[in-house]
Amino acid sequence: MSKSADVAAPKCAAQIWGNWRYHPCGNKAALRHTDEQDYCRTHYPPNVDERKRKREEERDLRWAVSRERDRRNARIRAAGLRALDDTFWAPWSGSTVAEEIRAALLVVEVDE
């Protein structure tokens, strides 16, 4: 491709933030949006929206996993405290403190 044809080729209309300022993307335009502007595939607005949607979906999933882990840890702590409570009776019931705690944590695992 000659240099003049390269200059004439439509460039992406997106403005990119970098170096503390906005500047033109500079990539060769590949798609025309409904706003009559040309964009490269990276900055074509529907593609941008799609990536944003995907990012938000992944973030929501990470948060859901983290919330579930927090709830599970809270249940384990509560069971641990109940077990400690029960250890008061351990010497009379013949079991050790460790056995009491292990039994209480087992209940949490079964509940899930």
Map residue 11 onto helix, strand or coil: strand
81 contact partners, CB below 8 Å, separation of at least 6: none
Q: Assess 13 for contact with Zn ion (CB under 5 A).
A: no
Amino acid occupying residue 11? K
Question: In a 10 Å sphere around its CB, with 0-12 CB exposed, 13-18 middle and 19+ buried, how is residue 83 labelled?
Answer: buried
Q: Which region, judged by CB under 5 A, interacts with Zn ion, from 19-27, 62-70, 73-81, 92-100? A: 19-27
Q: Assess 27 for contact with Zn ion (CB under 5 A).
A: yes
Q: Assess 44 for contact with Zn ion (CB under 5 A).
A: no
The distance of closest approach from Cβ of residue 24 to Zn ion in the complex, given in angstroms and rounded to an integer, is 8
Map residue 63 onto helix, strand or coil: helix
Site string for Zn ion, 55-74 (x = CB under 5 A): --------------------
Binding residues for Zn ion, rule: CB under 5 A, are 12, 14, 25, 27, 40, 43
